[in-house]
């Protein structure tokens, strides 16, 4: 697997990686990894940014006389050296001795550690358990956590044999984790509702999609008593 970035800052809960190519960061929610000896640390991409390399110096507009954005870079080839693309990955687990653990490793990632995108097989194996969702739900991020969870589950579902079943199961797990926080659960479910409906139509031969209510927790009035 080809490396895409390098760790430039790290803590127990997250690491920041600088991409080797401008704008070539992983999509929101993508599973990536960095290796430290016998430990493979998994992270979920949760925020990306492109900025100037020099601290405190912002890029300036250069395209007034250009007809396309590509023209700006052709006329100013130095820009690829003056700008950098970075992303933050939230640590969501690790692998040691061929076993995956869905909690934080003992040590943070190493500075200058290479970062790789995870293969479909790795994503599938990692997402066989939803325990990593607890880490995401209890973390403060620069972007809404609900957006990150929704994006991660959408991507993970695509590597499973039955994406529809995967998303339904994920929704039920989230309902248990969030308890009575129905509003937050609804926000997350809506983030992969379209994917769920698409998979449902494919399963039913083009019929109507499934409602998110099928994976929502029951309302108080439905519990009886």
pLDDT tens digit sequence for 98-127 = 999 999 999 999 999 999 999 999 999 999
- What is the structure's pLDDT at 55? 78
Residue 9 in domain = yes
Say if 13 falls within a structural domain: yes
Lowest mean pLDDT among 41-50, 55-64, 69-78, 129-138: 55-64
Q: Given this model, what pLDDT does residue 213 score?
A: 47
Q: What's the pLDDT score for residue 1?
A: 78
Rounded Cα–Cα distance for residues 101 and 112 (Å)? 23
205 in any annotated domain: no
Domain carrying residue 99: 5-118
Residue 79 within a domain: yes
* Residue 52, domain member (yes or no): yes
Summarised one tens digit per residue, pLDDT across range 191-210 is 887 776 665 555 555 544 44
pLDDT value, residue 197: 66
pTM over 0.75: yes
DSSP 177-208: HHTT-HHHHHHHHHHTHHHHHHHHHHHTTS--
* pLDDT > 70 in the chain, percent: 86
- Radius of gyration of the chain from its Cα atoms, rounded to whole angstroms: 20
Across residues 176-198, what is the average pLDDT?
Answer: 86
């Amino acid at each position: 697997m080809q490396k895409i970035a390098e760790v430039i800052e790290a803590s127990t809960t997250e690491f920041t990686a600088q991409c080797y190519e401008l704008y070539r960061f992983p999509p929101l929610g993508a599973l990536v990894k960095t290796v430290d000896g016998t430990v493979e640390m998994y992270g979920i991409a949760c925020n990306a940014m492109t900025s100037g390399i020099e601290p405190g110096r912002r890029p300036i507009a250069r395209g007034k006389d250009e007809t396309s954005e590509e023209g700006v870079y052709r006329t100013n080839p130095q820009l690829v050296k003056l700008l950098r693309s970075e992303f933050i990955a939230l640590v969501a687990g690790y692998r040691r001795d061929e076993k995956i653990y869905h909690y934080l490793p003992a040590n943070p990632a190493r500075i200058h550690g290479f970062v790789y995108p995870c293969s479909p097989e790795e994503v599938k194996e990692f997402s066989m358990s939803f325990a990593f969702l607890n880490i995401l739900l209890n973390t403060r991020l620069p972007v809404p956590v609900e957006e990150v969870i929704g994006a991660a589950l959408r991507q993970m579902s695509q590597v499973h044999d039955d994406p529809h079943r995967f998303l339904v199961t994920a929704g039920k797990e989230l309902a248990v984790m969030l308890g009575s926080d129905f509003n937050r659960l609804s926000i997350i479910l809506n983030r992969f509702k379209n994917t769920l409906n698409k998979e449902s139509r494919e399963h039913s031969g083009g019929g109507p999609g499934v409602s998110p209510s099928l994976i929502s927790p029951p309302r108080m009035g439905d519990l009886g008593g």
